Amino acid sequence: MERKERPIGMFDSGVGGISVLREAVHQLPHEDFIFYGDTAHAPYGTKNRADVLFLARNVVEILLQYEVKAIVIACNTATSAAAAELRRQYDFPIIGMEPALKPASRFHQDGVVLSLATPGTIGGEKYADLLKRYGEGVISLPCPGLMEFAERGEMDSPALHAYFDRLLAPYRNRKIEAAVLGCTHYVFLKDALARHLPSVPLLDGNEGTVRRLHDLLEARDELTDKTENGQVTLLSSGGEDAVALMNRLLHTETKKVP
């Protein structure tokens, strides 16, 4: 198979990366995608770096069986823990995620920017580097357990709203200028979060990540020549139920929040 007609691989610790896949299908409709959700080993965000790197390598080896031409790590935690090492190990493009602190910094004046992410992301070197460059006014909020709401397909439950109530209680009297969704799972919780942060811009890194994927493939002359819509293959270590949830999320539009 000519390299430009090979599929693009993508993976996450579970279903969250479907939000990135959805953006990729929108921007690159003619490409084929193989998405792997490692639900059996979720969450990555509370694991140590060595364990996440081990799991990420295993998933990459699975995706290589499909002769992918590039891989998107659709997971902020896995990007932080594994992207640099994977790029040293493999000779094809590997695109990672990063919390949207840079675009959020444009909203900062005299208030605060809340950055919601997993403990693994917030504790990583990549996040620390982002904070040095774009962290003025940023309050980092580790959110253990939040991604599991998306994994259960629980996008608007009383328990989820109680979680947000507890998380945001210390900032009710602060001027919140923007909130960063620093985990791909959180995109599916955006509508619920917007009820707790009305009129606050909620930012994620999905669109920028897919733009980087497009630009890299274009520079390598590896964008497909096909004119028909591409195919999407969903795989999961979590079995049929996880694949069914991923399929539902792929075809469910999330409302745009300003």
Residues annotated as catalytic (active site), given as ranges: 75, 183
Rounded CA gap, 233 and 34, in Å?
A: 5
Rounded CA gap, 97 and 77, in Å?
A: 9
DSSP bridge partners of 37:
12, 236
Distances (CA, A) of 29 to 3, 86, 165: 17, 27, 38
What DSSP string runs through 163-200?
Answer: HHHHHHGGGTTS-EEEEEE-SGGGGGGHHHHHHHSTT-
Question: Whole-angstrom distance between the N-terminal and C-terminal Cα of the chain?
Answer: 42
Q: Give the DSSP letter of residue 69.
A: S
In this structure, which amino acid lies at residue 148? E
